[in-house]
Amino acid sequence: MILPIYLYGQPILRQEAEDVTPDYPELNKLIDDMFQTMYESDGIGLAAPQVGLGIRMVVIDADVLKDTYPELEGLKLTLINPEIDVLEDGEKCTREEGCLSVPGLHEPVTRIEKVRVNWLDKDFKEHEQVFEGFLARIIQHECDHLDGILYVDRVAPIRKQLIRNKLNNIARGKVYCDYKFKQNKPQKR
Ligand code: NI
């Protein structure tokens, strides 16, 4: 089932999400729905708050980028209750990011591309792994969503000024988006 994606301006995107418990109802179906929703909207990662759910869960499939980043081939991750440590010895890079909750924008963000991640898979089995490169960036972007942070919060102040109107327009419902979404109705002036 394709779920509507909550856009910039929806309060759920600004809330701290809660841990997922093993008795969460129909978790496997939700995971399937999140992957399906992500593929339908050509995304490479999706966090539960983006479909209106305040729980700590992220899905990632960045196989489409395998020509540029061969390490992403066949990679498909479900992260439940992830905890990430950014490792200071990683490489600091600035690259463009986008977000399904912020349609029509791509902005450069500086991050250290090395993280250690602890998470549970869909069977609640524990994992720990160090990720580097673009994948480390995707993981940070998605896990930020669980703390109510959007990548546009992390762009340089000068760029933030430049995109302010666009963000306000999205929040007011003045937005074009070719996938199913949830946003406030356009406001009349
Ligand atoms: Ni995002």
Tell me, what's the pLDDT at 183? 87
The CA 166 to ligand 1 mean position distance, Å, reads 16
Exposure letters 166-175 (e unless 16+ CB within 10 A, then b): bbeebbeeeb
The CA 50 to ligand 1 mean position distance, Å, reads 8
The CA 37 to ligand 1 mean position distance, Å, reads 13
Tell me, what's the pLDDT at 132? 95
The CA-based angle 97-5-118, given to 5 degrees, is: 60
Tell me, what's the pLDDT at 185? 76
Per-residue pLDDT of the chain (189 residues; tens, 9 = 90+): 999 999 999 999 999 999 999 999 999 999 999 999 999 999 999 999 999 999 999 999 999 999 999 989 999 999 999 999 999 999 999 999 999 999 999 999 999 999 999 999 999 999 999 999 999 999 999 999 999 999 999 999 999 999 999 999 999 999 999 999 998 777 555
Cβ atoms 144, 45 nearer than 8 A: no
| Stated pTM of the model | 0.96
DSSP result, 87-121: -TTSPEEEEEE--TTSTT--EEEEEE-EEEEEEE-
Strands 181-182 and 5-6: what pairing? parallel
| 71 a catalytic residue | no
Element at 12 (helix H, strand E) = none
The CA 45 to ligand 1 mean position distance, Å, reads 7
DSSP annotation of 34 reads H
Neighbouring residues of the ion ligand 1, judged by CB less than 5 Å: 99
The CA 95 to ligand 1 mean position distance, Å, reads 14
40-45, long-range: CB within 8 Å, 24+ apart, which pairs?
A: 40/2, 40/179, 40/180, 41/5, 41/100, 41/179, 41/180, 43/100, 44/138, 45/138, 45/141, 45/142
The CA 25 to ligand 1 mean position distance, Å, reads 24
- Return phi, psi of residue 28, to 5°: -65, -40
Catalytic site residue from 97, 107, 113, 142: 142
Q: Rounded to whole angstroms, how far apart are CA atoms 33 and 38?
A: 8
Element at 55 (helix H, strand E) = none
